[in-house]
Amino acid sequence: MVIDWLPSILIVALLLIGVVGMLRRSSLWRAGRPEKVNIIAGLLAMPGRYFKDLHHVVERDKYMANTHVATGGGFVLSMVLVLVVHVFKVEQQIVAWALLAALLLMLVGAFFVFKRRLNPPERLSKGPWMRLPKSLIIFALTFIVLTLPAAGVLPEGTGGVALIAVLSIGVIIGLGELLFGMGWGGPMKHAFAGTLHLAFHRRPERFGGGRSTGLKPVDLEGDVLGVAKPSDFKWNQLLGFDACVQCGKCQAMCPAFAAGQPLNPKKLIQDMVVGLAGGTDANYAGSPYPGKEVGNAKGGPNEIITAGLVSQETLWSCTTCRACVEECPMMIEHVDAIVDMRRFLTMEKGETPNKGSEVLENIIATDNPNGYAPGSRTNWAADQNLAVMKDKKEVDVLFWVSDGAFDMRSQRILRAFVKLMKAADVDVAILGDEERDSGDVARRLGDDATFQSLAKRNLATLGQYKFNKIVTTDPHAYHCLRNEYADFDKDGALAGVEVLHHTTFLNQLVQSGALKLDAFKGGKVTYHDPCYLGRYNGEYEAPRDLLRSLGIEISEMERSGFRSRCCGGGGGAPITDIPGERRIADMRMEDASATGAELVAVGCQQCTAMLEGVVEPRPEVKDISEILVDQLVEEVH
Partner 1 sequence: MSDIIRRDPRAEWIMRNRLHPLHDQYMSQEEGGEVRGPSGLIRKFPHKVGFIGPNGIKRIDRLKGNSSAPKGKRSAAAQEVQLPLHKVDSPDYYIMVVADMVGGRLTGHDKDILGLAHKLIAEQGGNGAVVAVCFGEVKEENFDTAGVDRVLHIEGEAFEGYAPEARVQALAKVEAQYTVKHWLFPDSIHGGCDLASRLSARLGERPATQAWQVNAEQTVSRGASASLDITRQTPKILMLLEECADAIDETRHEATPITLDDVAVSAATIKDKGLMAVDPNAIPMAEAEFILSAGNGIHNWDQFHEAAKVLGATEGASRVAVDDGFMPRSRQVGATGTWVTARVYIAVGISGAIQHMQGIGQVDKVIAINTDAGCDMVKRAALSVIGDSEEILAELMKLAAEHKQTSLSDQAEENSNAA
Partner 2 sequence: MPHKVISLISVGRHPQSGRSRRADQDSRAVELGLKLAGTDLDVVHAGSSEEPVLRQYAGMGLPKVTVLEQAESADALPAISSYLKTQQADIVLTGVRSESGESSGMTPYLLAEQLGWPIVARVADIVEVKDGEAQVLLALPRGQRRQVTVKLPFIASIDNAAEAARQSAFGPGLRAKMEAQSGSTEEDSVRVNWSEAPAKARPKRLKVVKAKTAADRFKAATAKPQGGSGKVMKNESAQEQAQAIFDLLIEEKIIR
Query: Residue numbers of the site for partner 2 (CB under 8 A)?
Result: 220, 224-225, 346-352, 356-357, 360-361, 364-367, 371-374, 447, 449-450
162: which residues sit within 8 A by CB, 6+ positions away? none
- With CB under 5 to 8 Å by kind, the binding choice for 409 among partner 2, partner 1, none is partner 1
- With CB under 5 to 8 Å by kind, the binding choice for 556 among partner 2, partner 1, none is none
* 579 near partner 1, rule: CB under 8 A: yes
448 vs 474 by CB, closer to partner 1? 474
Angle at CA of residue 547, ends 544 and 549, nearest 5°: 110
Number of residues that bind partner 1 (CB under 8 A): 14
282: which residues sit within 8 A by CB, 6+ positions away? 294, 295
3-class state of residue 344 by DSSP: helix
59 vs 590 by CB, closer to partner 1? 590
Query: For residue 181, how far is the Cα from the chain centroid?
Result: 27
**Which DSSP string do the residues of 481-505 spell out, in sequence order?**
IIIIGGGG-TT-TTTTPEEEEHHHH
What's the DSSP call for residue 1?
A: -
Which of 52, 56, 409, 516 touches partner 1 by CB under 8 A? 409
What Å distances lie between residue 288 and 294, 318, 328, 573, CA to CA? Answer: 6, 15, 18, 21
Q: Contact 313/351 with Cβ under 8 angstroms?
A: no
Q: Tell me, residue by residue from 600 to 619, as one string, x for binding to partner 1 by CB under 8 A and - for no binding.
A: ---------x--xx-x----
456 vs 618 by CB, closer to partner 1? 618
- Piece of the chain touching partner 1 by CB under 8 A; list 172-180, 239-247, 405-413, 547-555: 405-413
Number of neighbours of residue 211 by Cβ within 10 angstroms: 13
Q: Do you find a cis peptide bond into 617, omega within 30 degrees of 0?
A: yes
Which of 574, 623, 626, 627 touches partner 1 by CB under 8 A? 574
Torsion of CA 460, 463, 469, 472, to 10 degrees: -20
57 vs 224 by CB, closer to partner 2? 224
- Piece of the chain touching partner 1 by CB under 8 A; list 291-299, 311-319, 403-411, 524-532: 403-411
Query: Which helix H or strand E contains 387, and what residues bound it?
Result: strand 387-388
* 538 near partner 1, rule: CB under 8 A: no
Torsion of CA 384, 386, 391, 396, to 10 degrees: 180
- What is the C-alpha to C-alpha distance for residues 38 and 538, in angstroms, rounded to an integer? 27
- With CB under 5 to 8 Å by kind, the binding choice for 615 among partner 2, partner 1, none is partner 1
Q: Tell me, residue by residue from 355 to 394, as one string, x for binding to partner 1 by CB under 8 A and - for no binding.
A: x--------------x------------------------
- With CB under 5 to 8 Å by kind, the binding choice for 349 among partner 2, partner 1, none is partner 2
* 408 near partner 1, rule: CB under 8 A: yes
- With CB under 5 to 8 Å by kind, the binding choice for 596 among partner 2, partner 1, none is none
**Which DSSP string do the residues of 81-116 spell out, in sequence order?**
HHIIIIIS----HHHHHHHHHHHHHHHHHHHHHHHH
Which of 348, 361, 545, 577 touches partner 1 by CB under 8 A? 577
First to last CA, the chain: 101
Q: How far is the CB of 580 from partner 2 (least distance, A)?
A: 24
Give the interface with partner 1 as residue ranges (CB under 8 A): 354-355, 370, 407-409, 574, 577, 579, 583, 609, 612-613, 615
